[in-house]
Amino acid sequence: MKDILSPFVILLLVLVSVEAFSQYQITGNFPETKNQKIQLLGFEGIQVYLIDETQINQSGDFKLDYNEEDYGMGYLNISEKENHILVLAKENISLEGKRLSEKETIILTEGNENILFSNYAKELPINQNALGAWEYLMETYRSNPHLKSREKTIKSIASEITYLNQTDSEFMANLPEESYIKWFIPVRNMVSDVSYVAQQQPELIPQRLQAFRNLQHDNDLFYKSGLYKDAFEGHFWLIENSGLNLNEANAEMKKSIDVIVENLAFDDKKMNETGEFLFQFLESRNLFEASEYLAVKLLNESSCTLNSSLEKQLEIYRKMKPGNTAENIVFEGDVFKAGKSVVTASLKEIQSDYYLIAFGSSWCPACVEELPKLQKEYASFQQKGVEIVMISLDTSKQQFQNFIKDFDFYAASDYKKWKTQAISDYHVFSTPTLYLIDKNRKIVLRPNSVEQAKNWIQKNL
């Protein structure tokens, strides 16, 4: 006898299915952008993804769809200058105006969260400017010997400051608990005022650092907010600019790294994406102690699985960090200097106090852009006791020679591409990769660009 599903079970399955694939519509009318393609984009961590796209019709009308899984912040996009932020808060949204770039013409006619957020966004600059003006006036009165006795005026200024702060607090308090913007606005304010706090209210820095650590970095509200990248960068920038000495700043960064890894340890996707981004950011800021700490922390974290690309990057740091000793490079194949073939067996035979080793190739677009900069700096580097040695991943001798014909420094290739021994010894996984080492092959610096190498050499040698 065949099993027969009851009407109740069928209805339940239908309801679950409908709920799982609930779609919400965004409709709009922008006559001055007729016949153009419009996209709806969402945020996932530091990435942006396409939700839907369509063509605006002859009358300027369009319709786009999004799902519950897109819950968070998104934006309409026609071009770099034609875009508009929306709250994808599981509601239908309707808006109209002249162009997306003309914010003052945009009117939201449907979508409660978006209407609230739009009103708040319009009022915020006015309130902030007024608040800044009153706070400046208060400071003037309190610090000026001729004005600080005017207690009645100071009391009136204080009342205005209190009123403006209360207006913002009341708006937030009146938002429904389930409102996305109730979570989003305080976090956005925390992220956006980092520079102001560092410069104008340094006493708030400890509070701001703790607020970031309290965010729960695996929270989907945060992950889909579009604030992810700026929040991480702003937090570590704030530590850098907090007035702490180097040891104290490094201690604060390590404390934050511990919290981040603990939050993300059981989410492989977010851990890999965030770990790679944060590692590269710390490296780009020359925060090597923090980036080393992050690398070791991630490599030793047993609760997550690192992808091979990230693991290789972190292994580079562990094995090729400043202070370690690099392998001697044995030249197999051709070695050129100033476009002419030379006979030299290994790096040890090239006499110099320092060596800038550059891994690259003619087929690498970034190398074609970056490595010719070495030629421009070659004379000044030599004056500082630095010899440049390029290790090429080219497989064609002709292409290799064409690429290096204008280079006066050493350039070598064995035409084995990624199978070149030095590639393995120096843990190179992308090009261009640079290392600055001394005559004893002690790694001094792993510059992320020729410009960084130049700045370090000019300052330290």
Q: Model confidence over 53-78: pLDDT tens digits?
A: 999 999 999 999 999 999 999 999 99
- Position 85 pLDDT exceeds 60: yes
**Pick from 231, 240, 437: which is nearest to 326 by CA?**
437
Q: Model confidence over 299-336: pLDDT tens digits?
A: 888 788 888 878 877 877 778 888 899 999 999 999 99
What pLDDT shows up at residue 1? 41
**Pick from 248, 239, 256, 350: which is nearest to 297 by CA?**
256
Sign (positive or negative) of CA dihedral 437, 438, 441, 444? negative
Q: CA-to-CA distance for 86 and 72, rounded, in angstroms?
A: 9
Q: CA-to-CA distance for 344 and 452, rounded, in angstroms?
A: 29
Backbone angles phi, psi at 410, to 5 degrees: -70, 140
Least confident of 8-12, 215-219, 265-269, 439-443: 8-12
Sign (positive or negative) of CA dihedral 399, 401, 407, 410? positive
**Pick from 214, 190, 183: which is nearest to 204 by CA?**
190
Q: CA-to-CA distance for 238 and 228, rounded, in angstroms?
A: 15
Mean pLDDT of 179-200: 89
Q: Model confidence over 341-353: pLDDT tens digits?
A: 999 999 999 999 9
**Pick from 83, 68, 70: which is nearest to 28 by CA?**
83
**Pick from 289, 228, 291, 237: which is nearest to 264 by CA?**
228
Backbone angles phi, psi at 209, to 5 degrees: -65, -40
Arithmetic mean of pLDDT over the chain: 87
Burial zone of 166 (CB within 10 Å; 0-12 exposed, 13-18 middle, 19+ buried): exposed
Domains of the chain: 7-109 (2.60.40.10), 118-320 (no CATH), 334-460 (3.40.30.10)
What pLDDT shows up at residue 166? 62
Mean pLDDT of 270-291: 88
93-96/23-29 β-pairing: parallel
> Is there a contact between 64 and 25 (Cβ–Cβ < 8 Å)?
yes
Q: Model confidence over 222-255: pLDDT tens digits?
A: 999 999 999 999 999 999 999 999 899 999 999 9
Q: CA-to-CA distance for 155 and 148, rounded, in angstroms?
A: 11
Burial zone of 299 (CB within 10 Å; 0-12 exposed, 13-18 middle, 19+ buried): middle
Tokens read off for 23: 């779609």
pLDDT band at 401 (very low <50, low <70, confident <90, very high): very high
Q: CA-to-CA distance for 292 and 317, rounded, in angstroms?
A: 6
Q: Model confidence over 105-163: pLDDT tens digits?
A: 999 999 999 998 888 876 655 445 544 564 556 677 677 777 667 777 667 666 666 65
What pLDDT shows up at residue 310? 84
What pLDDT shows up at residue 448? 83
